[in-house]
Structure 1
Amino acid sequence: MTIATAKLTDPAVRAFVTALNAGDRTAFFDALTPGATMSDDGSDRDVEDWTEREIFSSSGHLDVQSETQNGHALVANYRNDTWGEMRTAWRFTVDGGKISRFETGQA
């Protein structure tokens, strides 16, 4: 069962997922703190380079299946034009209403 993005518990995570699914770079980076960091499958990555490749230029889309930890941990089906669809886990650190770090990887 998919959780509607509008129903996600944490407003910062909701803004992140909404912007990702809309392909809206401006709204996406507005959801992050300055200097936000991320990792993919346990390896730190450059946020701008990774998001351009894995989200924006490849039509990334997140269908949230479940959320835990007050909305700071998601399991979702993620798809893009490069890799197809896979089950992924996402963890978010939220500071001052924005995301300062996100971690993703296969679930």
Structure 2
Amino acid sequence: MTVPVDQLSDPAVRAFVTALNANDRAAFQAVLTPGATMSDDGSDRDLAEWTEREVFSSNGHMDVESEADGGRSLVVSYRNDTWGAMRTAWRFDVDGGKVSRFETGQA
């Protein structure tokens, strides 16, 4: 079972998932704080390069399985054209209504 995106608890995380699933670069950038950071499987990555490769050029999509921590921790079936589908965990730091950091990795 999945959690509908419009029912995610945290507004910034909801906007992040909505923009990612729509492959909307402008909306995605708008939900991030200036200087936002991220990590993948415990290693910090360049956010712009990573999102271009793992999300936008490969049609990334998040199907949220569950949420915790007020909507700032998600378990997601993530898929893209490069890797197919995988179960991933996502954790978000939100500052002033925008995502300042996210961490993802295999769940």
Q: Could you say which TM-score interval applies, normalised by the shorter chain?
A: over 0.9
| Identity fraction in percent | 74
- Provide the secondary structure at the position in 1 that maps to 2:59: coil
Q: Distance in 2 between matches of 1:46 and 1:85?
A: 22
* Number of equivalences: 107
Query: Which residue matches 2:48?
Result: 48
**1:5-84 paired onto structure 2 within 5 Å:** 5-84=5-84
Q: Distance in 1 between matches of 2:4 and 2:70?
A: 16
Q: Which amino acid counterpart does residue 7 of structure 2 have in structure 1?
A: K
Q: Give the ranges of 4+ consecutive aligned residues of structure 1 lying more than 4 Å apart after TM superposition.
A: none
**Shift, 1:61, TM fit:** 0.2
**Shift, 1:72, TM fit:** 0.3
Q: Which amino acid counterpart does residue 12 of structure 1 have in structure 2?
A: A
Per the normalisation by structure 2, the TM-score is 1.00
Q: Distance in 1 between matches of 2:77 and 2:31?
A: 21
Q: Distance in 2 between matches of 1:105 and 1:28?
A: 19
How much is the aligned-residue C-alpha RMSD, in angstroms? 0.2
Unaligned runs of at least 5 residues, structure 1: none
